[in-house]
Amino acid sequence: MPSADDTAHIWPKSRVLVTGGAGFIGSAIVWGLNRLGCTNILIADPASPAEKQRNTKSLHFADYLEPGDMLSRYSAGSLGKFDFIFHLGACSSTTETDTEYLRRNNYEFSRDLAELALATGARFVYASSAATYGAATTMDDTDPRNLEGLHPLNPYGHSKHMMDLHTWKQGWLDRIVGLKYFNVFGPNETYKGDMRSGVHWSLEQVKETGAIRLFKSCRADYQDGEQKRDFLYVKDAVAMTLYLASHRQANGIFNVGSGQAHTWNELARAVFAALGKTPRIDYVEMPETIRDKYQYFTQADIGKLRAAGYSQPITRFEDAVRDCVVNYLMPGKSLGGETAASAG
């Protein structure tokens, strides 16, 4: 989570734009900024779904606007100037098939906002995704030339990859920050439905059936439930993001992950442990529609992040799951402290 460092003094006097600021990682960034004394924040996010607004109930920010005309207003100067722009608003559905929608929302909007940020002197930080790596077994962020060799497995990953390629080809990577978020989990993602993290839907399954369902493996080199992901607690993702934003010598595309892959079986056992229950795992067939697009292994190489000076320890996986389940999901609290009951 955010902690004081040599740049902490900049936040209380900074004006910040957070697109997607009512969403999962976006609202967590606002929470992190608040903890560092920053409240002069403009959130840009659609007002619906209404459930998403619960994420902002206990946060402190200056204003909230719909993103529809944001670019034109920013370009015309009516939004004023920003010291930092965190662009976290996007379609995050890995099953979305409307490629034109993804292109407009995840690439073109991001490209145009980056151009405006650079023209106005704002520090620009945008969300990419580990989905851009596709089936690659080496997830190395050190050389941007490697971008051309990546082949995302779904339209969502491709739309994010388009932005990464554009930033490199335009020569922007010495001035902005792109973040390849791995499998981030935590509170504030209830509104995401089927796109919620494994911790969320695992807890829901335990409540409903007493068991957690995991996909069987379709590959001989992986046992059922032994497919691996680099799971990252959102509090760690916030700390990494704010560190890179505030250290202007840290530019380029960075992996944002734990650096340690864990199996789905480990995740399920961690959820059961947080609940004080004996694990019960059922393995189900993987849908044919995703079999050829399924990532069996993701693990962030975070050497570049560490080389940039980020030295904070990363929350132990089991401890992160426990904190998420016990302190947020079970009592129904958002990261800012709002509960479902008090949110109405």
Domains: count for the chain: 1
Please check whether residue 135 lies inside any domain of the structure: yes
pLDDT classification of 338: cutoffs 50, 70, 90: low
- Listed residue (187, 167, 189, 169) closest to 179, CA to CA: 167
In a domain, 3, yes or no: no
**pLDDT score for 8:** 83
First-to-last alpha carbon distance for the chain, in angstroms, is: 28
Say if CB 296 and CB 228 are below 8 A apart. yes
Considering only CA atoms, give the Rg of the chain.
19
> In the beta sheet, which residues pair with residue 172?
none
What is the rounded distance in angstroms from the CA atom of residue 344 to the CA atom of residue 329?
A: 17
Report helix angle 264-275 to 317-324, nearest 10.
50
Q: Which of 89, 140, 128 is nearest to 298 (CA)?
A: 140
Q: Give the residue with greater pLDDT, 135 vs 237.
A: 237
Please report whether residue 102 resides in a domain: yes
- Overall average pLDDT of the 132-147 stretch: 87
CA distances for 258 relative to 142, 228, 296, 320, angstroms = 16, 13, 17, 11
Q: Tell me the catalytic residues.
A: 156, 192
Spatial distance between the Cα atoms of 130 and 315, rounded to a whole number of angstroms: 20
Of residues 68 and 304, the one with the higher pLDDT is 304
Q: How does pLDDT run across 31-50, given as a tens digit for each residue?
A: 999 999 999 999 999 987 88
The pTM for the full model equals 0.94
Cβ within 8 Å of residue 237, ≥6 positions away:
25, 28, 181, 184, 186, 256
CA atoms within 13 A on the CB side of 130: 27
CA distances to 86, 223, 295, 324 from 33, in Å: 11, 42, 33, 20
The three-point CA angle 80-84-86 to 5° equals: 110
Q: For residue 248, give both structure tokens.
A: 């202007």
Percent above pLDDT 70 for the chain: 97
Residue 254 lies in a domain: yes
Q: What type of residue sits at position 225?
A: G
175 Cβ contact list (under 8 Å, min separation 6): 118, 124, 251
Is 330 domain-assigned?
no
Higher pLDDT, 151 or 135: 151
Give whole-number Cα distances, 143 to 9, 157, 237, 247, 301, in Å: 32, 19, 22, 20, 12
User: Do the domain assignments include residue 158?
Assistant: yes
Residue 306 tokens read as 């560490």
Q: Is residue 1 part of a domain?
A: no
When pLDDT is cut at 50, 70 and 90, the band that residue 25 belongs to is very high
pLDDT of 120 > 90? The answer is yes
Domain that holds residue 25: 8-182+231-258+299-314
Cross-strand partners of 228: 263, 297
Is the preceding peptide bond at 49 cis, omega within 30 degrees of 0? yes
| Most confidently predicted of 47-61, 127-141, 182-196, 212-226 | 212-226
Over the stretch 292-317, which tens digit does the pLDDT of each residue have? 888 899 999 999 999 999 999 999 99
> CA-CA distance, 80 to 300, in Å (whole number)?
37
How far is the C-alpha of 211 from the C-alpha of 278, rounded, in Å?
10
Work out the pLDDT band at 59, boundaries 50, 70, 90.
very high
Residue 266 lies in a domain: no
CATH of the domain at 62: 3.40.50.720
How far apart (Å, rounded) are the C-alpha atoms in residues 166 and 173?
10
Per-residue model confidence (pLDDT) at position 255 = 97
